[in-house]
Amino acid sequence: MITDIYSLPLVTQVGDPLDETVERIVETIQFSVFCFTLPFYMFITYFMLDALQRGIDELSTPFFRLCITTAFIDTWTLLNNYLGAMFPKWGWGTKVYLFMDGYYAHTYLYFAWASGICQAMCVSLLATNRLSAIIFPQRHSRMWSSTRLRVAIAIQFLPGLIAGLATFFNETQLYRNTKNGLVPRFKSEIFIAVLFGIAGAFLATVCIYLIMAYCYLLFMLRKSSNAIKNTQFAKSRAVIKKKEVKLFIMSSITVTIQMSILILVIIYATSLLNFPLDKFYLFYNAISDLYAGINPYLLWIFSDSLRKHIYIRLGLKKKRKVPSSSVVTVN
């Protein structure tokens, strides 16, 4: 157990020092967004669980069940990022972290790497769910039956939790930054390089899959729209066009964030632009927060059914006994 923070080694500065003004601005914005996003995500998750418990068909689909488990992973990622990295970096609760010493460092680093993989698996499975609805419309419900859905949920968690165990094969060290905050890191630079190499390859695979999946979805929606172009079903064409626009916006946001993380990992792993570790983690943590916190906003914007359910439960809208239209994100 460490009792004196000044006994810890200082963080080694490689390359140009990080501009304190930029760091302060990025972290202030990041923390402000976190303070709003975390309760908002819990708010959205509560009503998704409420809809599931009440058996509302539109909100009890496999897609929404996967969204619920994704919400738990995203929330866990956000909390781990702040409890394990940001708060100790700012010098909050230093005595507690010093008391936990290596247990804290290993726990944070394990969940940091595990949650990144879990998030990528969640995004891939949600895309797969939408893709299977287009490719196998007649068998989609059977493909995502309760038993197979449990397997899908396990895939969201297990690969990340298992892969994260690799972090225990290297020693960790608590460092002291210039503001007397704590920074947990691995001791071996070679081990860090190997982890980043594996992470880069994995993220590249996920990005390629997401791009291909969403391009195919957009192609099929456009094909369906053109098929009824010269018919009297103008309303159906308008609905498909609306789905197409929503899917394009949602997929663009998802892929852009995933690509941003991949680019950061590649830049650091290949030492491009002489990118030091502190700068990498500043921007990586910000993008990671965005990645973990974007889903409640996407659900609120693109899911008419969820938004309607929340309004009804809050007493802001009366329940109408009429069939509601579905959108591509909630089937």
10-residue mean pLDDT profile of the chain (331 residues): values are 82 73 90 96 96 91 93 95 94 92 92 92 90 82 87 95 92 88 88 85 89 84 67 60 67 80 79 69 86 92 91 85 47 42
- CA atoms of 92 and 101, how far apart (whole Å): 15
Model pLDDT, residue 236: 62
Taking the CB of residue 11, how many other CB atoms lie within 10 A of it? 18
Model pLDDT, residue 329: 47
- CA atoms of 158 and 289, how far apart (whole Å): 22
Model pLDDT, residue 233: 59
- Return the sign of the alpha-carbon dihedral for residues 198, 204, 210, 216: negative
Q: What are phi and psi of 204, to 5 degrees?
A: -65, -40
> Nearest 5 degrees, angle CA 45-CA 46-CA 47?
90
Model pLDDT, residue 273: 58
Amino acid identity of residue 20, one-letter, is: E
Q: Select from 103, 107, 84, 112 the least CA-distant residue to 2.
A: 103
Model pLDDT, residue 327: 44
Taking the CB of residue 141, how many other CB atoms lie within 10 A of it? 13
Model pLDDT, residue 227: 66
Q: Select from 81, 159, 151 the least CA-distant residue to 117.
A: 159
Domains of the chain (ranges, CATH numbers): 24-313 (1.20.1070.10)
